[in-house]
Structure 1
Amino acid sequence: MFFYKLGRNQSLLFMKYIFTMAAAAFLLWGCANEMEVAPQAAENPQSVADTTNFNNPMHAARSAGTKVMMQAFYWDVPGSGTWWNTISGKVPSWASAGIDAIWLPPATKGQSGGYSMGYDPFDYFDFGNYNQMGSTETRFGSLAEIQSLITTAHNNDLSVIADIVVNHCSGGASQANPYTGSNTYTNFQPASGLFARSYNDFHPNNVHASDAGTFGGFPDLCHDKTWVQDWLYNNSNSIAKYYKNTMGFDGWRFDMVKGFEPWVVKNFKNAVGGFTVGEYWDGNAATLETWANSAEASAFDFACYYKMRDALANNDLTQLNGDMLLKRNAYRAVTFVANHDTDEIYTNKILAYAYILTHEGYPCIFYRDYEEWLDKNKLNNLIWIHNNKAFGNTTYLFADNDEYVARRNGAPGIIVYINNSNSWQERWVDTNWASTTIKDYTGSSTWEPVTQGDTWVKVQAPPHGYTIWSPK
């Protein structure tokens, strides 16, 4: 959610907030470093057995959910309508690296017009083609430019994930509201002429006073209203069907799903298919699992995120043995190290990527980590290993304050050895390979040991680094 960024870019957002108040008179707003070590990623995605669930990637036009997702934005990306073109230019190299989907920010007109990051939705059908809220283009560009981006992504076999914000709306005009006895900003007459809204479509109303949660004082959509359901997913030109059939989006990231019931996500996804993931911001793995099962969708694995944060911040890699959604239901887990809302893993961040890109779940890479802050060669190497070596379930072999070792049991499978100490470490580990020469596919170690007949072998890892072993 955009609101949480106040702590990071406070002064900039405050200025935008003041501008919005005055204008609207309304409320608040890693080419692999493998090179010679790891060849180019294979083109064929990992197969998925379950073909009955709409969230299964096999129901999407492409392979979203099987390789690696790129979050293709960060908070306060450059404005002036250039972002869609920026992403278009990066798509070919991302596809070559092994990315299978790009998650875009909310792409339609918000209350703040050309300043909006999209999380203050006003017109769900204005992709930068209507002059309203102070601009024609969105912060990210024009309708033609996002259409070109989606085409470019599809031409490179990338799925495009739309960010769906349907908990709340923003920018409505004032109107008398019989349910509150006062005026509320609930009169929405978008220039597109689609999904007009009034006080009847928000809480409180004649159905009930509230739902699962509100956000920041914004008008809170009532999902029990037939009018709202029709425009979200039932109508032939609903948001779900327009975004899928007209715009060409392949999947959905739902914002702030704590604010409404999980059946909303399930109904939307069942109307159009496609990979679906919800932002249920909660560190409890059991709670995430319950929501994911109810919504029949994936969830961002905040439990994994917080365990990695604590493990690296407190020099205690035993935290990585804790409860996570990926360990309860890897098929439903979207793992991540940072996103546009939260970025708390500062020290040895690459170790967190080594974890999510070698373990189960669907990993998501943050744009700034990949393009600006971390070693792109190392990230590309990890992506290649994820897509080509890291298969099967996981056996956790060892963990203490400084060291963590796990084994993926598929074919060919891997041994991942994370070392957060200040010196090289060595450890005997049990593999799935007898009398087999193995190598470190990160290139950090030059060892090429032969596993014993009983499958044991000694491996090593560099200080504040990692190695990933598999048959040569």
Structure 2
Amino acid sequence: MHNPTLMQFFHWYYPAGGTLWHEAAERAGWLADIGISLVWLPPAYKADTGAQSVGYDTYDLFDLGEFDQKGGRATKYGDKAALLAAIAALKSHHIGVLLDVVLNHKMGADEQERIQVNRVEIEDREEIEDQAIDATAWTRFTFPARQGQYSQFVWDHKCFSGIDLIEDPAEKGIFKIVNDYTRDGWNEEVDDELGNYDYLMGANIEFRNPAVTAELAHWGRWVMNETHCDGFRLDAVKHIPAWFYRDWIDKIQADAAQPMLVIAEYWSHKTAILLQYLEQVAGKTMLFDAPLQMNFHHASTQGAEFDLRQVFSDTLVAADPAHAVTLVDNHDTQPLQALEAPVAPWFKPLAYALILLREQGVPTVFYPDLFGASYEDKDQEGNVRAIELPAIPGLEALIRARQLYAHGRQTDYFDDAHCVAFHRHGTGERPGCVVIMSNSGEGEKRLRLGADFAHGRLRDYLGQHEATVTLDETGAGIFRCRAAGVSVWVDAG
């Protein structure tokens, strides 16, 4: 795939009502036309909160909007028929489809069980009380509406390592479930935040149970055959032992008709930790570049105080570009969400130019940045806030420019704290471009592109400047951009 471009086709506050699958089908042709080659869809299976759920409170992986469970048949995004139609429409326009996979936990159990648990210190998960207590918990999933179709597997307390709510006694907290697989405590090869970050929420899946791993491999094969998807986005992998996904991906790839693209979300701002995870999974997945997203956030909030020369410092795309998926914002970083660190609208054209037009990384476009979004929710103080996320001017043009002009080797001119540039030299078959941006006043650089470009004329593809740049006999010329803006200079012919 040449210059792959991923789009996250949803956000946390996408309206309920079952319209997303229809929208994806309707927009498929236009998305392909502008240069989107991959679409990441939200969790497509039934969640605990049913048709109101974004999908991360997983209930039944085998219910893609087909069974009357959790208040209805369809999910927030539509029913199974609409999902399959959307995938077919996207693939008919040569757009690959990634499905969101949430295997860390399950919520909304159908039955309670009498179990034993150990209380766990919330701020240090390695501190586990020696004395187990008897308690009642919602840990048995039978999926009565599905009646064993696609899978007859029943999840019970032996399939989980922890839970956050018990009854008799009634307590909230974190509790390690006592079973044959949890004797040694939490899983290894997870993030060491809070001592051990195996437990996140709900009924925490126990991957050391071989029946569980067999069931999840069965589901992977089933969902590939059922939907004909092209890959997966793996949620919350910092809480899931790396050895599980290393093995699961092998099983998925072995059964896939063609190689599946796998992108994992390990949300850490420490590149060394991301590199460690890639080593643990033997490089079998790509990772979102959370450090770069945080750099963009800081650049947008600090304005002219931010040193643009450092925008790629300590990022995954700088350390391991072959495994980096770059992004500007996502459903977790958008305003009022758990990892809130949004990039201010003024900086987003610069940020998108830095991920869409460079040689390194696979860029991700976030739904609200292309289409806009409006929503309300409570902030951390409990106050209701109205949020407007504007569509970013010029983003469609930048996506198109990736396919038209982001070709050939790259020369960087990161020599000024407030104005940086880079040159894509083009190839024998495809043209290149010069990208220049400023986070302060008007930007200007004299660049020598080389004798191959002597006497060339370039225009600003984004239309920020009417005048063209004419290069001299050495291929040198003066390139400009507006204050706090970006320009993409391409062959005027």
TM more than 0.5: yes
Provide, for residues 320-363 of structure 1, a one-character-per-residue CA deviation record: whole Å limited to 9, x for no partner. 14121111222211111111110311141222112211122111
Structure 1 residue 164: Cα displacement:
0.2
| Matched residue type, 1:159 | G
SS for the counterpart of 2:205 is: coil
RMSD (Å) for aligned C-alpha atoms: 2.1
Alignment correspondent of 2:112: 174
Give the Cα–Cα distance (whole angstroms) in 2 for the partners of residues 340 and 229 of structure 1: 28
Structure with bigger strand share is 2
- Secondary structure, aligned partner of 2:294: helix
2:433 aligns with 414
In structure 1, what is the equivalent of residue 24 of structure 2? 87
Aligned residue for 1:224?
208
Q: Is the 8 A contact 2:436 2:443 kept in 1?
A: no
Shift of 1:198: 0.8
Residue pair 2:349, 2:392 contacting (<8 A) in 1 also: no
- One-letter amino acid of the counterpart of residue 397, structure 1: Y
Partner of 2:407: 391
- 1:390–1:289 distance in 2 versus 1, CA, 3 Å: farther
Q: Hey, what's the Cα distance between the residues in 2 that align with 1:78 and 1:93?
A: 22
1:322 aligns with one of 313, 321, 339: 313
Distance 1:458 1:85 in 2: 47
**SS, match of residue 351 in structure 2:** helix
Q: Are residue 247 (structure 1) and residue 236 (structure 2) matched?
A: no
Residue 149 of structure 1: CA displacement? 0.8
Amino acid at match of 1:416: V
CA distance in structure 1 between the aligned counterparts of 2:186 and 2:95, rounded to whole angstroms: 39
- Distance of 1:288 and 1:430 partners within structure 2: 37
1:464 positional shift: 2.0
Among 271, 275, 282, the residue aligned to 1:289:
275
2:335 paired with 1:361: no
Structure holding more helix per residue: 1
Ranges in structure 2 where 5+ consecutive residues have no aligned partner: 119-133, 162-176, 191-196, 254-258, 335-341, 373-388
Contact 1:111-1:170 at 8 Å conserved across structures: yes
Question: In the TM superposition, what are the counterparts of 1:306-385 in structure 2 within 5 Å?
Answer: 306-315=294-303, 316=306, 317-343=308-334, 344-348=342-346, 349-359=348-358, 360-372=360-372, 373-374=389-390, 378-385=394-401
Greater Cα shift, 316-325 or 94-103: 316-325
Closer/same/farther in 2, CA of residues 119 and 375 from structure 1, 3 Å limit: closer
Q: Is the 8 A contact 1:396 1:406 kept in 2?
A: yes
Q: SS at 1:76's partner residue? A: coil
Deviation at 1:388, TM superposition (A): 2.7
Post-superposition shift, 1:467?
Answer: 1.2
Whether contact under 8 Å (1:310, 1:319) holds in the other structure is no
Change (3 A) 1:262 1:214: closer
For residues 300-337 of structure 1, the C-alpha deviation after alignment (integer angstroms, 9 at most, x for no partner) is: 11111111111222121233141211112222111111
Q: Deviations over 1:72-123 (max 9, x none)?
A: 1111322122221122222221111110111111111111112211101111
Do 1:358 and 1:390's aligned partners in 2 also have CA atoms closer than 8 Å?
yes
In structure 2, the partner of 1:8 is: none
Given that 1:69 and 1:365 are in contact with CA atoms closer than 8 Å, whether structure 2 keeps it comes out as yes
Query: What one-letter code is carried by the residue in structure 2 that aligns with 1:443?
Result: G
* Higher Cα Rg, which structure: 2
Gaps of 5+ in 1: 1-44, 47-65
> Among 86, 89, 102, which residue is 1:149 paired with?
86
Equivalent position of 1:20 in the other structure: none
For the 8 Å contact 1:300–1:334, the answer to whether it is kept is yes
Given the alignment, which residue of 402, 417, 430 partners 2:418? 402
Identical amino acids, percent of aligned pairs: 27
Partner-residue secondary structure (3-state), 1:242: helix
Distance 1:320 1:94 in 2: 29
2:287 aligned with 1:299: yes
CA–CA distance in structure 1, aligned partners of residues 23 and 206 of structure 2: 36
Q: Which residue of 1 aligns with 2:171?
A: none
- What's the counterpart of residue 338 of structure 2? none
Maintained 8 Å contact 1:311/1:319:
no
Kindly indicate whether the alpha-carbon contact (under 8 Å) linking 1:67 and 1:386 is maintained by their aligned counterparts in 2. Answer: no
1:418-457 map, 5 Å: 418-422=437-441, 424-432=442-450, 433-439=452-458, 440-457=460-477
* SS of residue matched to 1:323: coil
Q: Which amino acid aligns with 2:155?
A: R
Are the equivalent residues in 2 in contact too, given 1:438–1:469 (CA < 8 A)?
A: no
Report if the CA contact (8 A) 2:326-2:355 is conserved.
Answer: yes
Q: Note the 1:128-167 alignment, pairs <5 A.
A: 128-167=65-104
Per-residue deviation, 1:399: 4.4
Please say if 1:280 is aligned against 2:280. no
Aligned residues between the structures: 404
Deviation of the 1:470 alpha carbon: 3.7
Q: Which has the higher contact order (CA 8 A, sep 6+)?
A: 1
Q: Give the corresponding residue for 2:127.
A: none
Measured at CA, do residues 408 and 282 of structure 1 come closer, stay the same or move farther in structure 2, by a change above 3 Å?
A: farther
Partner deviation per Cα, 1:155-176 (whole Å, 9 max, x = no partner):
1111111000001111113211
Return the letter of the residue paired with 1:427.
K
State the distance in 1 between where 2:64 and 2:404 align: 37
Contact 1:121 1:169 in 2 (8 A): yes
How far apart are the structure 2 equivalents of 1:456 and 1:310? 33
Deviation at 1:383, TM superposition (A): 1.0
Give SS of 2:11's match.
coil
The alignment partner of 1:78 has SS state of coil
In the aligned structure 2, how far is the partner of 1:285 from the partner of 1:416? 26
CA–CA separation in structure 1 for the residues paired with 2:407 and 2:23: 33
Say whether the 8 Å CA contact 1:437–1:448 is kept in structure 2: no
How far off is 1:441 after superposition?
Answer: 2.5
Measured at CA, do residues 293 and 391 of structure 1 come closer, stay the same or move farther in structure 2, by a change above 3 Å? farther
Give the TM-score, by structure 1 length. Answer: 0.80
Q: For the residues of structure 1 that align with 2:479 and 2:199, how far apart are their CA atoms?
A: 50
Matches of 2:7 and 2:324 in 1, distance apart? Answer: 15
Question: What is the CA–CA distance in structure 2 between the aligned matches of 1:210 and 1:231, rounded to whole Å?
Answer: 21
